[in-house]
Amino acid sequence: MSNCKKARLPEEEEMVEGSDDDGSDEDIPMDADAGWTVNMDVTGYDLKDHDFHGIKQLLEQLFPKTLPLSLSEFADALIAQNTIGTLLKDTDEPSEGDDVVYALVSCYSLTRSKKTDLLTSLRNLLVSKCQASSASKEDKTKFTQIIGDSWSENGDVAKCDTCVGLFLNERYINLPFEQAAPQMFGSLMKEVEVAKSSMRRQVRHDFTHYAMICKISKQGASSETKDTTYLNNEEEEFAQEAMLSFDFDVVSHHTTKSRRLLLLKAQTFQRIIANV
């Protein structure tokens, strides 16, 4: 298969499901503890045009529709950067149908020469959420400056002092990821390395900083004792070594969800991701 660029992930994802799955009721014990395992074979694929709907669905998890960001444009832009990014899909890929995309790992550079609506709305979103957050004044200025320096009005990206990449790590909730993670992250870093040399004038991939938005949930009565859980477990390690971070809320399907943006220096990011 020409678009399967990596070897099959030799994993059998095990998912323990409760007994309320489909299947004849007579055979399955209705005991809630007696789950069974489902074996899934998944393969990493490049982002292609027919994955548009799957990618958009995963992006919606991170960026609910209430935000002023066009997810269609974003999905198109991720597909367009054809050397970067990996999707996790079923191994038996049906032809051109609407495949289910289980996970997405990609990196989108904010340092581009062409001023698109997408780029402007992404930057404005990050900066406005930062300004509105409860981060320290120092952090806010630092962040705004880094984002501000990572592009130039006249489109001359070579002169930019900083180069920021937005790291995307999305998957179906509760999908076991420990086996797939190292391969997906590893290949992403390799792809970014290769991309550094090409297209230097239009888009830069020699990132000085990586930004990532984590889905978090805060529990606890008062704001001091709030216990933060990261929906993507591996992101907690990144959070511990982030140079700065701030929280913001988004409204998704009439409920308020929390997000945390982390900004990491490139070397720190590369070190942590290699150890995942």
Q: How far is the CB of 79 from another protein (least distance, A)?
A: 12
Shortest distance (Å) from residue 98 CB to another protein: 7
Nearer to another protein, 101 or 273 (CB): 101
65/226 with CB nearer another protein: 65
Burial grade of 102 (CB within 10 A; 0-12, 13-18, 19 or more): buried
Other CB atoms within 10 Å distance of the CB of residue 122? 22
Taking CB under 8 A as the criterion, the residue among 5, 11, 19, 52 binding another protein is: 52
Of 87-106, binders to another protein (CB under 8 A) are: 98
Which residues make Cβ contacts (< 8 Å) with residue 238, sequence separation at least 6? 212, 214, 262, 264, 269, 272
Q: Among 3, 12, 37, 66, which residue interacts with another protein (rule: CB under 8 A)? A: 66
Query: Among all chains, which residue has been given the structure tokens 């991701």?
Result: 273
When asked if residue 72 is in the footprint of another protein (CB under 8 A), the reply is yes
Give the separation between CA 34 and CA 18, rounded to whole angstroms.
7
Residues 219-258 that bind another protein (CB under 8 A): none
Cβ closer to another protein: 252 or 258? 252
Instruction: Considering the complex, state which of residue 96 and residue 224 has its C-beta at the smaller distance from another protein.
Output: 96
Give the interface segment with another protein, choosing from 13-21, 50-58, 188-196, 253-261 (CB under 8 A).
Answer: 50-58
Among the residue ranges 47-55, 124-132, 143-151, 176-184, the one whose residues contact another protein (CB under 8 A): 47-55
Nearest distance, CB of residue 74 and another protein, angstroms: 12
- Using the contact rule CB under 8 A, the part of the chain among 31-39, 64-72, 112-120, 211-219 near another protein is 64-72
Q: With contacts defined by CB under 8 A, how many residues of the chain interact with another protein? A: 7
Q: Which residues bind another protein (CB under 8 A)?
A: 50, 52-53, 65-66, 72, 98
